């Protein structure tokens, strides 16, 4: 069984590492439709057929708008110039997921007794790929 430590991860935008992130989550799914018919061998059970796939996720870490090509660029892609961005989510230096997405949310948290953090949410557009080299 392979075990991968979390500290090997990172997120990049257009090939540039996004600074000060410490967590990312990726959700990949595929819709299905019911294709059961009245005369199926056991009509009391649904019969499913796969349809379109989708992916979404989030990345979070310490707030850093000085990261002009990372965090600031993502914020701009959501607030000012709504654009598709290429994102890569690394498990380690070679294993990663890659796809294009639109930013759909940004949340800033400023606790009195902690550090300011930021959460980005996004939805993929088109396929996501996985490289396991």
The domain spans of the chain are 8-131
User: CB 106: neighbour CB atoms within 10 A?
Assistant: 16
Predicted confidence at residue 92, as pLDDT, reads 94
Predicted confidence at residue 79, as pLDDT, reads 92
Q: Which CATH number fits domain 8-131: 4.10.410, 3.10.180, 1.10.3470, 1.10.287?
A: 4.10.410
pLDDT tens-place string over residues 47-102: 899 999 999 999 999 999 999 999 999 999 999 888 999 999 999 999 999 999 99
> Minimal CA–CA distance to 126: which of 102, 105, 95?
102
Model-level pTM?
0.88
Cα separation, 43 vs 94, in Å, equals 47
Pairs from 102-107 (Cβ < 8 Å, separation ≥ 24): 102/77, 103/74, 103/77, 103/78, 104/56, 104/78, 105/78, 106/74, 106/75, 106/78, 106/79
pLDDT tens-place string over residues 94-121: 999 999 999 999 999 999 999 999 999 9
- Between 1-10, 19-28, 64-73, 98-107, the lowest mean confidence (pLDDT) is in 1-10
List the structure tokens of 86: 């290429």
């Amino acid at each position: 069984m392979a075990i991968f430590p979390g500290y090997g991860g990172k997120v990049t935008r257009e090939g540039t590492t996004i600074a000060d992130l410490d967590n990312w989550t990726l959700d990949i799914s595929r819709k299905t439709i019911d294709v059961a018919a009245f005369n199926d061998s056991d009509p009391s059970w649904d019969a499913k057929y796969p349809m379109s796939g989708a992916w979404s996720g989030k990345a979070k870490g310490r707030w850093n708008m000085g990261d002009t090509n990372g965090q600031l660029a993502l914020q701009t892609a959501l607030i000012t110039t709504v654009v598709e961005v290429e994102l890569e989510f690394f498990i380690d230096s070679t294993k990663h997921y890659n796809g294009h997405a639109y930013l759909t949310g940004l949340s800033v948290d400023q606790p009195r007794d902690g550090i300011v953090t930021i959460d980005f949410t996004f939805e993929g557009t088109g396929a996501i790929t996985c490289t396991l080299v």
